Every structure is written in structure tokens, then in C-alpha cells.
Amino acid sequence: MEEDIKEIVKDKYSLIANQTKEQNDASCCGSTGCCDTIEYAIFSEDYTSEQGYAKDADLGLGCGLPTSYADIKEGDNVLDLGSGAGNDCFVARSQVGDKGKVTGLDFTDAMIEKAIINNNKLGFNNIDFVKGDIEEMPFDDNIFDVVISNCVLNLVPDKTLAFNEIYRVLNKGGHFCISDVVISGVLPDKLKKDAEMYAGCVSGAIDKDDYVHIIKNSGFNNIVIHKEKAIDIPNEIMLNYLTIDELMDFKKDKVGIYSITINAEK
């Protein structure tokens, strides 16, 4: 089942890699026209005023600005999980400067290729893009000062394993800052089981308290939620998955979907 989920996500994000931000804002399928699915513009934040912003690398796929709260310092060694076309990597690179290093990890070939093309245009020699799985990272222990990620860990089937891996690759005293999607309450089964909702960052999200619990159990401390924003999925999208009565129950139960930006220390 987990491998099936990974293939769904990989296929979806391979498609997205070949689209523009404008197409992705229109729908998760963009030019293919399936506009009845999750729009990434519902989640995304405006990066255009961020130092290091590179328009070609911004596919509008994030749900926060983790680099704004990550306390990245000049000379740091930074890892971006699910780096996509390189958007957060280029912002992080402006913070680490020439003396630091940024590594982007992604398991989609098309995203890695696009990120490398974007980096070649910019001419940075201290950014690497590496193919790999967040649940089994191809890195040694204790090598990164900061780990960042933007709307990606909700797509990872085993979040406990993901946070254990983040803990492993961080230096002692290092920290992460992650923007992600979480829920409050219980999603209807139809949403949980739907592949499109998974790739659209909804059905893979877990309860916020469970999310924090996993972080604690991985060994992290000083956990801080810097920002929390409610996400309202339009009724016309929800009605592709739920009946009107089920949607009314969903609204009545006050199930909340949120983007949060959270950090913690090793």
C-alpha cells in the first residue's frame, strides 16, 4: 500500500514538474484540464518578496514559508526535503551565503532535472540536488545544521520513519523548520482513501496533536508552532468526493484542515 501511494505521488509530481506555477495554481493537473481536484493555490504562500526568490523554481506547491522561521545562518549546511524545482533551496542559499551549502532531496526525476536546470541558470556551486526517499535518506548521520521542508511530509506514508530520519541526519544542536498540512478532527473515509486527495496534500495529513507527538517521540525538543492557517477547500471540490449530506456532516463536525509551520531542535 505504501509503495502504491509513493507511485501515485511520484506520477502526480512528475506531471506538475512540467507545468508552470500558473497552471498548478489553476489545478493540480493544470493543462490536463482536471480542474475538479485540489488547487495548490489554496495552500500556497507568496514567495516573490523573499531574498533569493527564483521565479522559474516556484511551482506554487508550498503551504508556508519555512525559511522565514528556520533561523538559517551564514555558513550553515541545509537540507530541503521534497525540494521540487528548487524554490526553498534558492531562498535558503541566499541565507547560507557562499560559505554554506544547500542540498535538495526529491524522489521525482523530473523535479530533480528541473531544479538542476534552474540552478545552472543561476550559477550556484554550493547547491546539490539529490534523488532519494525521505523515509530512507542517502546521507550520513549528523551532517546538517538545518532541515527544512514545505508541504511534503504529509505525502510521506510513514511519518514516524521520516522524523526519525530527520533526527538522524541533523547535527547535535541542529533543528528543523517544516511547513505542512495537518488536520483537526477526523476526515471522512472517502477523502482518506482517495488518491487525488492524497496527492493534493489532504488525505495524507494527520491530526496536529499526533504530528507533534511523533516529533517528540523522535527525540526532538523545544517544539514551536510559529504559524497556523486554516485552509478552506471549496464545496464544489469537496462534492466530487462527498454527497451533500456527507458534506454537511463534515461542516457540522468542524473538521479543520490547517497549514502549520513548526520547528524543533535535536
**Which has more pLDDT, 258 or 231?**
258
What is the chain's length?
266
Task: Give the highest mean pLDDT range of 42-56, 188-202, 217-231.
Answer: 217-231
| pLDDT at position 188 | 66
String of DSSP letters for 10-56:
HHHHHHHHTS-HHHHHH-TTGGG--TTS--GGGT----TTSTT--GG
Percent of the chain whose predicted confidence (pLDDT) is above 70: 79
Residue 97: pLDDT band (50, 70, 90) is: very high
CA–CA dist 148, 243 (Å, integer): 38
CA–CA dist 13, 83 (Å, integer): 11
Q: Quick one: average pLDDT of 248-255?
A: 72
Note the pTM of the prediction, 2 decimals. 0.85
- Range in 111-125, 132-146, 230-244 with the lowest mean pLDDT: 230-244
> Would you call 72 exposed, middle or buried from its count of C-beta atoms within 10 A (0-12, 13-18, 19+)?
buried
Residue 253: pLDDT band (50, 70, 90) is: low
**Which has more pLDDT, 158 or 2?**
158
Sign of the Cα torsion 122, 123, 127, 133 reads: positive
| pLDDT at position 70 | 98
String of DSSP letters for 143-202:
-EEEEEEES-GGG-S-HHHHHHHHHHHEEEEEEEEEEEEEEES---HHHHT-HHHHHTTS
DSSP assigned state of 106: E
DSSP assigned state of 67: G
| pLDDT at position 7 | 74
| pLDDT at position 213 | 98
User: Per DSSP, what are the bridge partners of residue 101?
Assistant: 77
| pLDDT at position 206 | 87
| pLDDT at position 203 | 55
**Which has more pLDDT, 182 or 256?**
182
- Range in 46-50, 88-92, 260-264 with the lowest mean pLDDT: 46-50
| pLDDT at position 186 | 72
Give the 3-state secondary structure of residue 263: strand
Residue 30: pLDDT band (50, 70, 90) is: very low
CA–CA dist 68, 57 (Å, integer): 18
Amino acid at 38: I
Residue 198: pLDDT band (50, 70, 90) is: very low
Mean pLDDT of the chain: 84
Query: What residues contact 22, with CB distance under 8 A and at least 6 apart?
Result: none
CATH superfamily of 2-265: Vaccinia Virus protein VP39 (3.40.50.150)
User: Per DSSP, what are the bridge partners of residue 81?
Assistant: 105, 149
Q: What angle, rounded to 10 degrees, do the helices at 109-122 and 2-17 form? A: 40
How does pLDDT run across 162-173, given as a tens digit for each residue? Answer: 999 999 999 999
Percent of the chain whose predicted confidence (pLDDT) is above 90: 56
